[in-house]
Chain A
């Protein structure tokens, strides 16, 4: 697992049934592109978050394929439809096989 990886997400606490909400996510990750060289001229191996998903109560909201051109500390902003109360689940997949997860509840009413 890459060191010090920390996800941040912003989801409203409440929504009306069927409301469309904005979600922002950010995770701390160096996103080593595989294009850089170290002081000795050797390529620094690629090590990035290669996929990000957001699901709500088991249904997918967005599934992003990520390449090395996404900036350090990858940021995503998108919209979700909220049909009922439940939980958003956020998952980031690291090249090294690590999976980082976090979730946020939302109340409809």
Chain B
């Protein structure tokens, strides 16, 4: 059953499975993930939202269907070790306070969110624990340790629908993110929307553009064979359109992360996904 989409695409002679219409993918362990659903009302220019998995080739899609075949799990394993490792002046590990990582089920689906008037991402939560409770150095935003940890914590929510709050305290951050999404920047004078809203499913050179959903981050990319943070990906996009990228972890990317996450409200958390 798990290869049915791949077989269909091969039969059609397609290079990717974009022509597939399945609303979900099924992992080897039987878990079902929503990859296609109605767009949330605040995403007024889309009628349907689709996971980036849909736009990938059969072989790349297959890598995500089995946690053993998925190379991201090498890093999830590293995250498990890090979770138990004591670090910093207080002699604590993550596990000292949060005994079971499973207790984080649901967290990823609601991130980023506003806490005490500030927009915080998963990376902020991790580094806050490290500096405030463990007396340890903060991890680099897109470094191997941070992405291993955010993959491990995110995995606990896999299969749950993304559902970030965009009203109340979150509203001004969401508006700022939306503004960034539609603002043309860089020498190529392009906004996120030009590729990921106006042209998803179309080819950019030999590749399919996706909707730019972030429900699978951190994601293992074949390109660099490691886990990639969403902010790292935003940076890549901005470089490609010859703009000066904002800083990872800065206010702009955090607001953009909230806005993009909200465009995926209803898709399953896919962390850790596999992409090109």
Tell me the A residues contacting B by CB distance below 8 Å.
4, 6, 8, 10, 24, 26-28, 30, 71-73, 75
Q: Nearest chain B CB to A69's CB is how many angstroms away?
A: 14
| Interface class of chain B by DSSP | helix
CA–CA, A3 to B78, complex, Å? Answer: 11
Q: Nearest chain A CB to B139's CB is how many angstroms away?
A: 14
Nearest B-chain residue to A71, judged by Cβ: B225
> Which residues of A have CB within 8 Å of B69?
24, 75
Tell me the B residues contacting A by CB distance below 8 Å.
68-69, 71, 73-75, 77-78, 144, 225
Whether B74 pairs with A6 at a CB distance below 8 angstroms is: yes
> Which residues of A have CB within 8 Å of B68?
8, 10, 24, 26
Interface centre among A10, A28, A30 (most CB of B within 10 A): A28
Q: Nearest chain A CB to B120's CB is how many angstroms away?
A: 28
> Which residues of A have CB within 8 Å of B225?
30, 71-73
CA–CA, A75 to B72, complex, Å? Answer: 12
> Which residues of B have CB within 8 Å of A75?
69, 71
Nearest A-chain residue to B63, judged by Cβ: A75
How many pairs, one residue from A and one from B, have CB atoms within 8 Å of each other in the complex?
28
Other than the known A6-B78, A8-B68, A10-B68, what 10 A-B pairs have Cβ atoms closer than 8 Å? A4-B78, A6-B74, A8-B73, A8-B74, A24-B68, A24-B69, A26-B68, A27-B74, A71-B225, A73-B74
CA–CA, A104 to B28, complex, Å? Answer: 21
> Which residues of A have CB within 8 Å of B71?
26, 72-73, 75
Q: Nearest chain B CB to A90's CB is how many angstroms away?
A: 14
> Which residues of B have CB within 8 Å of A26?
68, 71, 74
> Which residues of B have CB within 8 Å of A73?
71, 74, 225
> Which residues of A have CB within 8 Å of B74?
6, 8, 26-28, 73
Nearest B-chain residue to A3, judged by Cβ: B144
CA–CA, A28 to B69, complex, Å? Answer: 13
> Which residues of A have CB within 8 Å of B144?
4
> Which residues of A have CB within 8 Å of B73?
8
Q: Nearest chain A CB to B264's CB is how many angstroms away?
A: 27
Q: Nearest chain A CB to B245's CB is how many angstroms away?
A: 19
In the A-B complex, the 9 residue pairs with the smallest Cβ-Cβ separation, listed nearest first, are A72-B225, A28-B74, A10-B68, A73-B71, A24-B68, A6-B77, A73-B74, A6-B74, A4-B78
CA–CA, A1 to B77, complex, Å? Answer: 18
CA–CA, A62 to B68, complex, Å? Answer: 20
> Which residues of B have CB within 8 Å of A8?
68, 73-74, 77
